[in-house]
Amino acid sequence: MLIRLNKKAGTLIALLTLCLAAAAILIAGNAGRWNTRAPIKDSPSSTDGGYRVTFSDVTVAGDLVIKPLPDVAIDGSLVYQLLTAQGTPLGTFNYVPWQDQNPLFQELPGGDLILGSHSFFRRSDQKIHNLGEGAGLGNVSDYSVNGSKLALEGKNNQESATTVYVGDLTGDTWMQVDSFKYPGYLGEKQAYLCWAGGKLYYDCWQGNSPLVKVYDPATNQAAVFKDNAMNPLASPDGRYLSLFAQDSPSGKTEGGLGLELINLESSRITGLEGSSRVFWSPGYVTVWDGLRLQLHVYDLNSGAKVRDVPADSPVSGLTISNGVLRGSSYHFENRQIARENFQVVLTLNGLAPTANGAP
């Protein structure tokens, strides 16, 4: 049942703990059954302290700039500062580049910015806010933008149900699409959602299993898309969807689910190797495999694997253009977090690393 809400922006502060989904699985048995993420060795977590960031390059966000600060947040995420072009600080937000599927920032119509997955910068008051405050969500798990619509999935507090909302970027009217509770043994579940083909695909839980549901704004109806599945991610053009499923043709990961690629136009399903991160490029999808420490590159049109690339460290920002794979890798040594940019030429005869080397 859909519930239409009118809420004015509140003053809730995002307190979402950003940790690996694998670390969120708290007990054996059913918990291990739905573990689709491999832990990253030596990366900071909520139990660590004293990590330092060694890179400090600036990212341009329109007429603003974003730079990482040297200290790591108590939950293990990196802290980024938003500044004017003249260097005036506007606030900070947290982000985990080697884990978060969303970009560091996304500019919205009108110039507002979504920062990471949980914050946004409002031009009208020049302040950083919790992304879910208009919908009354204190903890946002994920967001997705489709034209003038913003979809959110999250919780009001730690004890409340997980809720999916769809709202307008230009107003404060929000529609509740779904509400459900994860079982206690899953702890702080990292739920995903994404727009594809004008429809919203999102993580849900029913009975004893996860499932992916799809919401159609044209009919205001939500339905089950796939049982025993989780973590939907859409390609930028909305033609493809990746998710973990129990019946995946790729077989099962250690968590009991396998990664698959769905062509939403032809319904073709292709099994993918990997367990951690999915990156889209025109004509390609690349998966970082945290278990085998490789990048698996696939052709989107055929579903065939193009190459395996060694990757012994977590990565971010992967792109493929003109036959060259580019991205950044992160290294955790001596309580320091270092980042290294790399590029690898994908040739017909195998891998041909450039002068900058491979990850």
Residuewise pLDDT in 10s, the chain (359 residues): 333 333 333 322 222 222 333 333 222 334 444 444 444 555 665 445 578 999 999 999 999 999 999 999 988 899 999 999 999 999 999 999 999 999 999 999 889 999 999 999 999 999 999 999 989 898 898 999 998 899 999 988 766 789 999 998 866 789 999 999 888 766 555 789 999 999 999 999 988 889 999 999 999 999 999 999 999 999 999 999 999 998 888 766 646 789 999 999 999 999 999 876 899 999 999 999 988 899 999 999 888 999 999 998 999 999 999 999 999 999 998 889 999 999 999 875 455 444 344 33
Q: Which residue shows structure tokens 């253009």?
A: 321
Where in the chain do CATH 2.120.10 domains reside?
A: 3-272
Name, in order, each residue with C-beta under 8 angstroms of 44's C-beta and a sequence gap of 6 or more: 51, 72, 76, 332, 337
CA distances to 13, 92, 102, 115 from 120, in Å: 11, 10, 13, 5
Name all contacts of 341-346 with Cβ < 8 Å and 24+ positions apart.
344/309, 346/297, 346/306, 346/307, 346/320
Name, in order, each residue with C-beta under 8 angstroms of 283's C-beta and a sequence gap of 6 or more: 299, 300, 301, 320
Domain at 3-272: CATH code:
2.120.10
Neighbours of 296 (CB within 10 A): 20
